[in-house]
Amino acid sequence: MNQKRIVIAGGSGFIGTALAQEFIRRGYAVIVLTRSPRARTDGIREVAWDAKNFGDWAAQLDGATAVINLTGKNINCPHTPENLRAITASRMDSVNAVAAAIAQASVPPLVWVQASAVGFYGDTRDAACDESAPSGTDNLANICRQWEAACANLALPQTRKVILRIGFVLGRDGGALPVLARLTKLFLGGAVGSGRQYISWIHLADLVAMFLAVVERENMSGTFNAVAPNAVTNAEFMRELRRALHRPWSPPAPALAVKLGAKLMGSDPSLALISQRCMPRKFQEAGFQFQFHELRGALQNLCRKE
């Protein structure tokens, strides 16, 4: 019997690395599509692709169990018109390339898992959004809407499609948490702006388990919010992070300071100031078991000294 094969496009980053390692642990063959392939000794094979054009890499999808597409320019940059165009193009190009490869495969992948983001909902303020909520109207919401539609509207009858709207991912080795932890240790871990904006977080271990679930469960298709059940406000998040790092107090960061800091750091203040309160209704209805329901436990797990 042939070994089950997983192809992860854009799989050399924070989330992709964790996914590749878990699929290897579970006995899958793992192919990572990346711009800069390197030889590895952990059983994962890297194959070159440009994230844009159909090419020799497409043969890896033929007969694969699943293709997971994580490709996209990082949104942690100033949201200038030029950068927004690049963010959009990187997502649309990769979706179109993966779609072309699936269409050409003699044995198409059984499932395509496409990453999206809770940015789809825009600024939700206090409203709790499940997967039925409408898209927002800001720049990132518009990009997410186009990104998802490019995948969802494709006619690929032999390939089950799943879209995961990923929240604020918490992990030790990547994402924003290590940066926030360093600032908090320096007593710069206060609430940001009003502190009332919601953060829809997810522990990396639960996110990896979500990807595994949608790959392995044939009855899971469509769009899912990949977030923990209990979103928290920014003030609550920073308070729990200070608790986990034994820093009892830090001064708050007013919105004006956040805007100035974002400019100096080459980021965009909207990433810290807008509110996204999302619920994983469809995962809960599917019986998904969260390892980390509450933020306190998630941060204690990630911030403890090994």
Map out the domains of the chain as residue ranges.
5-167+202-227+277-290
d(CA 81, CA 59): 35
Closest C-alpha to 177, from 199, 161, 160, 197: 199
Q: Which long-range contacts (CB under 8 A, 24 or more apart) does 299-302 make?
A: 299/170, 299/240, 299/241, 299/243, 299/244, 300/244, 301/203, 302/170, 302/171, 302/172, 302/177, 302/203, 302/244
pLDDT at position 173: 92
Pairing of strands 5-9, 66-69: parallel
Looking at residue 294, its amino acid is: E
The pLDDT value given to residue 71: 96
Q: Is 271 exposed, middle or buried (0-12, 13-18, 19+ CB in 10 A)?
A: middle
DSSP collapsed to 3 states, 12-52 = CCHHHHHHHHHHHHCCCEEEEEECCCCCCCCCEEEEECCCC
pLDDT mean by block of 10 residues, the chain; 306 residues: 89 95 97 93 94 95 98 95 97 96 97 98 97 97 96 94 98 94 94 97 98 97 98 98 94 92 91 96 98 98 83
Superfamily the domain 5-167+202-227+277-290 falls into:
NAD(P)-binding Rossmann-like Domain (3.40.50.720)
Tokens 């400019």 correspond to what residue? 263
Give this prediction's pTM: 0.96
* All residues at 6 or more sequence positions from 25 whose CB lies less than 8 Å from its CB, including other chains: none
Q: At what angle do helices 177-185 and 234-244 cross, to 10 degrees?
A: 70
3-class DSSP state of 202: strand
